[in-house]
Amino acid sequence: MAQIELIYATPEAQELIQLEVPDGSTIEACIEASGVQQQHPEIDLQQMKVGVFSQIKPLSHVVQDGDRVEIYRPLIADPKAVRRKRAAAAEKK
């Protein structure tokens, strides 16, 4: 058995679920076993990216003991565009 953590964050809160899954489990199987999709029906694994310790991985990736599985929401703003806008505003001051 492997001990893993599953993380999903919304703008309002972070969800941290600790799981024990069979060795050889995939990211997709871990997400299903966690029940996080019942609590957060907006999670669409066909559209959202997932990863382990900030590294994007496919749903078929086999997790290891101690892994932190993360579900990534789409960005609401392009970080580069936000920085450019902030820099332009600072120049005008």
pLDDT in tens, 62-75: 999 999 999 998 76
- Per-residue pLDDT, 12: 83
pLDDT in tens, 32-63: 999 999 888 888 888 899 999 999 999 999 99
Q: What angle do CA 58, 63, 64 make, to 5 degrees?
A: 150
SS3 assignment, position 33: helix
Instruction: Give yes or no for residue 17 having a pLDDT over 90.
Output: yes
- Per-residue pLDDT, 16: 93
Two tokens at 72?
């990534």
2-92 topology per CATH: Ubiquitin-like (UB roll) (3.10.20)
- Per-residue pLDDT, 70: 95
CA gap 75, 77 in Å, rounded: 5
Give strand pairing partners of 14: 9
- Per-residue pLDDT, 55: 93
What does each C-alpha distance from 65 to 3, 40, 43 come to in angstroms? 5, 25, 24
Residues 18-31 have a mean pLDDT of 95
Instruction: Give yes or no for residue 6 having a pLDDT over 90.
Output: yes
Contact 31, 58 (CB under 8 A): no
